[in-house]
Structure 1
Amino acid sequence: MLREIVSNEIFTVLLVICLVLLAIAKLLYTKRFHDFINIISNFRYLKVYSRDQKFIDGFEAILFTNLLISGSIFGYLLYENFIGEVKDSYTLLFQIAVGFAAVVLSKVLIERLIGSLFSIDNIMDVYVFQKLSYKNFIGVLLVPINATLLFSISISPTILLTILIVFLLINCIGLIASYKTYQSLIKPNLFYFILYLCALEISPYLVIYKLFIDYA
């Protein structure tokens, strides 16, 4: 059964922008894009490209922009199906994008600051790169998923929860990859690692959820 569409012009435009961004990334960084797409089954991308990082990386910037847009669309669908009717689509999409960008970028800055304070810049840079890479991979997956949810099928809470679980598993793969890379450093400091996970990996999203419920 086709999903009843009230007005999807804004989503069509945003999806087209996402496709253009991915096309640009593939055109300008063909080899890197191919390695990136296989990030789940092959850690080559993480090993090779983590060595040559820049403060502002064109490839990562393109994918992160796609993540913001596609993530905002998916967040909109979550709100619409779990919280209630959306009165102003444009405002809600903007709020989700700004909130998500603020959390991710703030975390990156804090983690880089921690790396600088404890003289572990190289380790923290690689760790941040790995985390952002998996998030950007989710952003790529969201493009066809959003298109399907918006234009092809009737959305149900079960479908959305299943997608969220898959994304959670992908994030867990990223954390496991980081743990395997630095397990010799983490094991003696397991308590601080768990504290870090609670403070910077879990609590920011709980704050977003709370603000989302209160002010959206």
Structure 2
Amino acid sequence: MDMEILYREVDKYTVETILLIGCIALITFAKITHEIKFQRFLETFFSDKYLKLYGKEQEPSINRFNILLFIVQLIVFGMLLKLTLEYLGFVPGNINLLLIITGLGLFVLFKFYLEKIIATIFDLNYFLEQYNFYKLTYRNLVSIILLPFIALLIYNPMDKKVILFVTIGLFLLLNIIAWGRMFKKHQKFLLKKLFYFILYLCALEIAPYLIIARAAFFS
């Protein structure tokens, strides 16, 4: 009796698949439970209506809607970070994606609460509350825009170099636009406290990333 060897094809992207489906589920849930808010949120790059309306809430960054989309942001940015580091050869291909996402989440949360302490010292509480809300809103929206590109990077069997460069370029472009809109919105306040804001940028927006980059590139 001839024995035929059966090969079972194992999907090596099981974790990525589960996380991407989870992202779609979270976005869908956010849309269903906050339909009007979600629609205004999607228009943020073209209209300030969402920022003006929901930025007046007490602690606008901390609510169910933002937390749902923040989880999506961590997953998408974690995947993009992993894919970029793999392409550059700084991490092995079998590095744990969940570990990267967890580390990214801890870094963002630590930075968020450290900013609150610094803002109290520099008397920037109101501005920082608005600034963090603006930053969180734009990054949540950027993560949703990048989601299909991440899916292409994971499942596309062809050369991923072009898609990766397009994704990184789009990520940088959208963040530059977001920063420009934020600075334009708060330029009067920033000019009054320009020195403190420069200190804030150097200490909390530039230095942490330089430290991480140095550790990654020269370890």
In 2, the alpha carbon distance for the partners of 1:6 and 1:13 equals 12
In 2, the alpha carbon distance for the partners of 1:209 and 1:160 equals 19
Identify unmatched segments of 5+ residues in structure 1: none
Matches within 5 A, 1:190-209: 190-209=194-213
Task: For residue 186 of structure 1, report the CA deviation from its aligned partner.
Answer: 1.7
Give the corresponding residue for 2:170: 166
Give the corresponding residue for 2:63: 57
TM-score by length of 2: 0.83
Name the Cα RMSD after superposition: 2.4
Give the corresponding residue for 2:4: none
Are 1:26 and 2:22 an aligned pair?
no
Indicate if the aligned counterparts of 1:134 and 1:174 stay in contact, CA closer than 8 A: yes
In 2, the alpha carbon distance for the partners of 1:109 and 1:85 equals 29
Of stretches 116-125 and 188-197 in structure 1, the one that deviates more from structure 2 is 188-197
Tell me, what secondary structure is at the counterpart of 2:152? Answer: helix
In 1, the alpha carbon distance for the partners of 2:103 and 2:120 equals 26
Tell me, what secondary structure is at the counterpart of 2:12? Answer: coil
In 1, the alpha carbon distance for the partners of 2:41 and 2:207 equals 28
Task: For residue 153 of structure 1, report the CA deviation from its aligned partner.
Answer: 5.4
Indicate if the aligned counterparts of 2:90 and 2:217 stay in contact, CA closer than 8 A: no
Indicate if the aligned counterparts of 1:149 and 1:155 stay in contact, CA closer than 8 A: no
Change (3 A) 1:121 1:190: closer
Tell me, what secondary structure is at the counterpart of 1:154? Answer: coil
Percent of aligned positions that are identical: 32
Task: For residue 13 of structure 1, report the CA deviation from its aligned partner.
Answer: 0.9
Give the corresponding residue for 2:89: 83
Task: For residue 190 of structure 1, report the CA deviation from its aligned partner.
Answer: 3.4
1:9 to 8, 14, 32: 14
1:46 to 51, 68, 75: 51
Indicate if the aligned counterparts of 1:82 and 1:157 stay in contact, CA closer than 8 A: no
Deviations 1:124-168 (A, max 9, x none): 111110011111112212321111122235344443233222212
Change (3 A) 1:83 1:6: farther
Give the corresponding residue for 1:149: 153
Indicate if the aligned counterparts of 1:22 and 1:62 stay in contact, CA closer than 8 A: yes
Greater gyration radius? 2
In 2, the alpha carbon distance for the partners of 1:87 and 1:133 equals 31
Task: For residue 19 of structure 1, report the CA deviation from its aligned partner.
Answer: 0.6
Matches within 5 A, 1:103-114: 103-114=107-118
TM-score by length of 1: 0.84
Aligned-partner residue type, residue 80 of structure 2:
F
